[in-house]
Amino acid sequence: MSIADMRRQYSQGHLTDNDLTDHPVELFKQWLGAAIDAGIPDPTAMTVATVDADGQPSQRIVLLKDYDHEGFVFYTNLGSRKAKELSENPRISLHFPWFFMERQVRICGTAEKLTTAQNARYFLSRPKDSQLAAWASQQSQPISSRELLMTQFHQMKEKFAKKEIPLPDFWGGFRVVPHQIEFWQGGEDRLHDRYEYTKQADNRWVTQRLMP
């Protein structure tokens, strides 16, 4: 079968005016909770899109680690491609692809660095091997082989074998402060339900239905 002929109906539900909440994070909370309860793989996985100095977009998958009415939090090596691009252009887009539930959420906003105290609190909560991996990897930098990466990891393991692993000064988090959030629910015959929340100057959120 040609991929051009691959298609299916979306029929798991609808999104209506009655489902909307005053603040989009409350609806996001409902949808994320439903994704977790449904047992879909990696429900907190999201695409993070940034743009470099030449205007070239770049995307990668990271895990959401916290969220509230102020924004959505993820962590990374501060020398990574995404962190460098955000230092020059803080505009960012997130995308949650809950295709098993025929749902998507798109978030547009700006990224702000977390404080050292916030970074340390989360870093110290991670499993020890994850802490070591942060020290062993210069994220996004070239490396000659996986063997070399594993050598660096084991060197870190020996170095911190008998002491607490400190927060690296090259590792930290970003909070994405949203100004626009779209909720997408698949519909039959490609007549999807789409609602877009947009933040106003007075911090109110207004909604509009979008055509599919």
Catalytic residue numbers read: 190
Q: What angle do CA 84, 44, 13 make, to 5 degrees?
A: 130
- Structure token digits, residue 159: 């170095």
Q: Which two tokens stand for residue 96?
A: 């949650």
Task: Decide if 37 contacts 44 (C-beta within 8 A).
Answer: no
Q: Which helix (H) or strand (E) holds 132?
A: helix 128-136
Contact of 131 with 165, CB cutoff 8 Å: yes
Main-chain phi, psi angles of 56, to 5 degrees: -85, 115
Q: What angle do CA 30, 67, 12 make, to 5 degrees?
A: 25
